[in-house]
Structure formats: structure tokens, C-alpha cells
Amino acid sequence: RVPETTIRRWIQQGEFPCTIRNGKPLINQATLISWAETKHLRLGSSVLGKKGNLVSDNLIAALEFGGIHYGLRGEDRDAVLRQLPEQLKLNKISPQKLETLLLERENQSSTALGKGVAVPHPRYQLPFSKSQSRVDVFFLSSAVEWDAPDRQPVHTLFLLLSAESSHHLKILSQIAGLLRQAGVEDFLHQAPTQDELLDYIQAKTSH
């Protein structure tokens, strides 16, 4: 509900999270959601969920369906994304296809959110059912540059694979909400187990 003229002014002033290519602004949905919430700009219920929860059962279920992966290697962003699909066992998409989709999306605009975290995801939804949206967490063996808004290198990836657009956006928003919680960056640096991560999220959102 922000006027277009205001957004254009923010872009000109360098205050809006976007990348200018061929004179046109490219906006990453996850980064936009995170930025809007830090600026206390209202987001619709279709993005945040009916009650506007920062982290809800959508993210918990997606993390439970996915998994935790340690020691992902790569000297730069593209090398990391080429290694990533080999650590997954997906029935409906090949590692080669997923690699192509992730690189295409990342070349459009960075999926880094800041605080050492990126949320790589395909540009288009995958042939999964909505209930099978999954988030896999990858802890890198060493941090790499990812063109993050806060310029910090990325050490943790939340790979998001989903089949339905609104569900996809809700989970993106919930991950962005998680990153605003105090102490989350230090916690992720510890490379927790899946159970530890789920317990941490539930503890942070139970009050």
C-alpha cells in the first residue's frame, strides 16, 4: 500500500532493496519481505498468514520434511549451488535440473537476507503438493560472498522448495521473521541439529 512514487524515490535514494539491471529494478521477494518488516511496513495476511505470525507451523512442517546438511563446500556462490543438489534425494526433479533452476534464480537477484543467511529457491514452483513444501538447511564449510544486503558472507542456506506461490511466500516471510529474532545468528553459527533447530524456533515463537 505504499505509493509507487514513494518507492521510486526510495530507489533513487538507494534506500530500497533492489538491483538495477538495464535500467529496471529487480526485487527479490524474500529480501523485500524482510526489509518491509524491519521498516514496520504492513504486509498482507496472504503473506504472513491469518494471524501474522513471524514463524508458524508452515515453516516447522517444511523443516521437518526437509533436513539438515553439514559441511557444504564451494569457493563461491555458484560452486556451492552446484554442490548442493547432490546432497538431496528428490524423486520429481534431477540434481542437474535443480542446479540449473537455482543458478538461474540467483543470477536474477541475490537470495541472501543478511546475518549470514541466504534462501536459495527456484524461480518457479516445483511439481510437489502444497503439503510437501520443504526447507533443507545447509551449513557451509566456510562462508562465501553472496551479495547480501548487509554485505556479510553467507554461512547458512535455507533451501526452499515448494509447489504453491502463496505457501512459498509465507515460508519466505517466516524465515525472514526468524532472522529478526535476537541471537539467531550466533545460534546458526553453532550448526545445530534438526531437533535443536526446531526446538529453537518453537521456543522463539511460543510467546
Q: Which of 121, 168, 189, 207 is catalytic?
A: 121
For 139, the grid coordinates are 551449513
19 neighbors 110 (Cβ within 8 angstroms): yes
**From the CB of residue 194, how many other CB atoms can be counted at a distance below 10 Å?**
14
Residue 107 C-beta-side C-alpha neighbours within 13 Å: 8
Q: How far apart are the first and last CA of the chain?
A: 29
For residue 168, indicate whether it is catalytic.
no
Place of cell 538507494: 14
**Of 135, 178, 169, 133, nearest to 33 (Cα)?**
169
DSSP structure string for 116-155: TEE----SS--SS-GGG-EEEEEEEEEEE----TT-PPEE
Place of cell 538491483: 19
Give the residue numbers annotated as catalytic, written as ranges.
Answer: 121
